[in-house]
Structure formats: structure tokens, C-alpha cells
Structure 1
Amino acid sequence: MHAVLEKLLELAKKEHIRIIWTQELSPTTPPVAAYNLRCIIMNSNWHNPNQFIFQLAHELAHLIYGDPLDLHLYNRTPAQKFKIESHINDYALQILLHLYSQTPYNKINIVSFMQKYAIPTHLENRVCFLINTL
């Protein structure tokens, strides 16, 4: 098993978050976090398995750093949903950056980091910003 995936699973256990892996979903159904249940459902049938680590970090960030009231805002406007997801992506990236390297963040190769965890390219600016500010 991938070392970072193991560390994410350890983090989930430490935070009392249950992870359920299922093959019952379509290859395009994304994972989901249930805040009130402290549970994440991961789609092991996902069309791009390289994204599992970022997806899991993202869902963990929802449960560790998210606000239980986010769900109410999440269903209101696209702008509110975007704001919530942007904050959660930052937390997910911070989790991965911490697990990725023990060297100073400013020495991380951004392209390698993003490719290794299949981080969506639209987050490149956030990765650069976080590397330069952490």
C-alpha cells in the first residue's frame, strides 16, 4: 500500500473517521463525506485510481476542518459551494504537503507533487501559494 495512503488512513483512525470502500458505484461517482456520521465513502471503482489519495485527503479535510453548517450553504449557491470547496482543497493540500516531504516545502517540485497525487491542474496556483506560505 502507498505510504501516504497508509498515513491518511492512520489520520482517519486518529480522528475517529470511518472509511468505507465500495465497488458498487459508477466509475464517475465521486467520494462523499458524512459529517454527522464521521464517515467517508470512497469509490474503489473510480475511473482514475491515481486520484484516490487526493480524494481521501479532501474528504478527510471536510470532516476534520469543515463546519457542520457547510452542508446548508453547500446547497444554496454555486459561489458558496465554490468557497467551501476552495477552503477544503487548501486543507487537503496542506495535509498532503505535510505527508509528502520532510524537506522544506519550498524545495518541493510542484509538478512532481501534483502528478504523484493526480491533483487537478486548476489547483496549481493554490499548491504554489501554499508551498510558499507554509
Structure 2
Amino acid sequence: MDGIITNLLNYALDNDIGITATKLLSAHTPSVVDVQTRHIVFNTNWYNQKQLAFTLAHEISHVMNNDNSVKPLYFTPTKLKFEYSANVEAIKLLLPYYMADKEVDQLNSFSFMQCFAIPSHLEDIVIDEIKNY
């Protein structure tokens, strides 16, 4: 998982997205992105360590989507408009890491979602994105 996070951090930096990674926040303080300044505060102390890569990919996606928000966006895997789009793009960012060492018959949405602690209400998106990959 550390390699995936490193790759995502490099992807962010390659796309002029600043990152402040910190362990100093509470385990229940979500990561946050300021789309206007293109900067993410990434809480590496998040209570669900399996969800770190999804969280980072989600915040990167807010910037890459040019989400028009005048206030910082906190990580939340909900179905709201900005959040939905960020979740779709985050799943797309993570799929190559999941697919890399698998044959077609080994692919399934459940194992992908478990690997990255993706919430169950995003299963339909995961199924569609695996099919489209």
C-alpha cells in the first residue's frame, strides 16, 4: 500500500498539487483539499489505514476535476455531486494498481473494495469501472 500512496503523491506533485502529509491530526479528522490553491492536507493518521490510498486519490480527483468550491472540501465518500465525481475518478486512479497482477477471471468488485476500504454504496461505480477498464 505504501508504494501506491507514494505513486499517488508523485502523481499529485507532477500535476502541481501541493501535499502536506501529517500524522499529527486526530484519527477521525478527514483529509482536506483546497481546490483553489491546489493543496491537500493528507491525514496519514486516519483511523482506517486501508482507506488512505482511496482518500488521497479522492482528494487529488477534486483538483483534477476542477471542482468549483470556495471552501475546502473534506474527505467524505458520499453521493453529493462533487463527492460522487471525486469518488469515480479516485476509483479510476486506483484500478491500475489492483489490476496489475490479476487475470480477468480474478477480478471482482468486492476484493477491490476491500483492498482500499471503499464504502459499499460505491459498489455500482466499482463494477462499472472494472468493466470499462
Q: Fold match, TM over 0.5?
A: yes
Q: 2:26 matched to which residue of 1?
A: 26
Q: 2:125 matched to which residue of 1?
A: 126
Give 1:104 deviation, angstroms.
Answer: 7.4
Equivalent residues of 2:51, 2:118 under 8 A apart: yes
| Structure-2-length-normalised TM-score | 0.81
Equivalent residues of 2:17, 2:40 under 8 A apart: yes
Q: Which has the higher helix share?
A: 1
Residues of 2 paired with 1:73 and 1:36: CA distance?
Answer: 9
Structure 2 alignment gaps of length 5 or more? 74-78
Amino acid corresponding to residue 110 of structure 2 in structure 1: V
Give 1:101 deviation, angstroms.
Answer: 1.9
Amino acid corresponding to residue 122 of structure 1 in structure 2: H
Amino acid corresponding to residue 66 of structure 1 in structure 2: N
SS at match of 2:42: strand
SS at match of 2:36: helix
Residues of 2 paired with 1:60 and 1:73: CA distance?
Answer: 16
SS at match of 1:21: strand
The verdict on how the C-alpha distance between 1:2 and 1:24 changes in structure 2, with shifts beyond 3 A counting, is closer
Structure 1 alignment gaps of length 5 or more? 76-80
Q: 2:5 matched to which residue of 1?
A: 5
Give 1:31 deviation, angstroms.
Answer: 0.4
Residues of 1 paired with 2:47 and 2:2: CA distance?
Answer: 19
Amino acid corresponding to residue 85 of structure 2 in structure 1: H
Backbone CA RMSD of aligned residues: 2.6
Give 1:42 deviation, angstroms.
Answer: 1.1
| Structure-1-length-normalised TM-score | 0.81
Q: 1:98 matched to which residue of 2?
A: 96
Moved over 4 A (4+): 72-75, 103-107
Equivalent residues of 2:33, 2:59 under 8 A apart: yes
Count of residue correspondences:
127
Moved more, 99-108 or 1-10: 99-108
Give 1:125 deviation, angstroms.
Answer: 1.2
Give 1:133 deviation, angstroms.
Answer: 2.6
SS at match of 2:95: helix
Q: 2:80 matched to which residue of 1?
A: 82
